[in-house]
Amino acid sequence: MTNRYPGKCTKCGQTVHPETGTCEKVNGKWVVQHTECPTGESTSCNNSQGLPADWAEVQAAGAPSRVNRACCKCGEEVRSGDGLCARSSDGKWYTWHSECQTAQAAPEATETIRKGEGYGGREYKPGQVIRHKDGWWVVVKASKRYYDEDGMSMGVGDEEGYVYSATIRPATDDEAAPMIAKAAAAEARKAQEARRTEVAQQIRAEGELPDGIQVPEGETYSDRRTIYGGGDWFVVNSERIWYVQNNGADGDDWRRNNVRTGGAGAIGWRIPYDEALAAEIKQFPA
């Protein structure tokens, strides 16, 4: 009968693709043979030179693959359901990764990376730009594999879970540009947060802590107060700069409060107006 699944030909040792040979049960085991054993190059090619003449039509007819088989474009395994397959006009079956259908040649050599979810690994996506070796790389292909046992031995980082893998290549300047800009913006925010903390500490150290209940007048900036009585903010007017720290949460010592709020109150320190410092405070994010 015609074989429905791939197997190794008992005559030539090459792969018999589905419905391209015969199968029979021998001594309780199924064995397969080519109807006519191939000569020359294997039909499981690793580059476009080995693809059939009607490759465009084969791609257009691609359907979800149902068996594990080597990709005819890159040579790596296509697991069942993770790629496409179709039969060419010569009757041979071809299977390929979905991303291999349109993927362009990598500008430089590729590398393979893998990381288990127990070690912080996350699923990769083709086209994703990631940080690797102090540079930016593009994910060409991505895959994942679930291990329901012996996860620690397989690199999961836990008894069970996924290991995520990707083939990556160095990113071009255009591909890396958005990520470089994003990283620069993150560094700028980090520096601004550090400066905000420094200014708050400066006002607390050098400023006056007035007695009595105060109601600072002026424009409020970088307001981070919370409904739970926490957070802080700045108030700037033409004469003074205030740093106010909310002190109205459960467990706070409300007796220290010297600034009226809509809650239990806050603690405020003030310094004389400083134009340069005021300009900085106005740029602090909320």
Report how far Cα 50 is from the mean position of its chain's Cα atoms. 34
Which whole-number Å values give the CA distances from 40 to 12, 45, 69, 87, 234, in the listed order?
A: 12, 12, 20, 20, 79
**Across the chain, what does the average pLDDT equal?**
86
The answer, as to whether pTM is greater than 0.75, is: no
Q: What is the pLDDT of residues 206-259, one digit of tens each?
A: 999 999 999 999 999 999 999 999 999 999 999 999 999 999 999 999 999 999
Per-residue model confidence (pLDDT) at position 104: 43
Per the model's pLDDT, the better-predicted residue between 173 and 91 turns out to be 173
pLDDT value of residue 39 = 53
For 66-123, write each residue's pLDDT tens digit.
877 788 777 777 887 888 888 888 778 888 887 775 444 444 578 999 999 999 999 9
Share of the chain above pLDDT 70, in %: 92
Query: At a CB cut-off of 8 Å and minimum separation 6, what does 221 contact?
Result: 233, 234, 235, 236, 281, 282, 284
Query: Which residue spans within 66-174 are E strands per DSSP?
Result: 69-70, 77-78, 83-87, 93-97, 111-116, 129-132, 135-147, 161-170
| Of residues 181 and 54, more confidently modeled | 181
Which is more confident, 81 or 158? 158
d(CA 31, CA 24): 6
- Lowest-pLDDT choice from 18-22, 100-104, 192-196: 100-104
Residue 41's pLDDT is 37
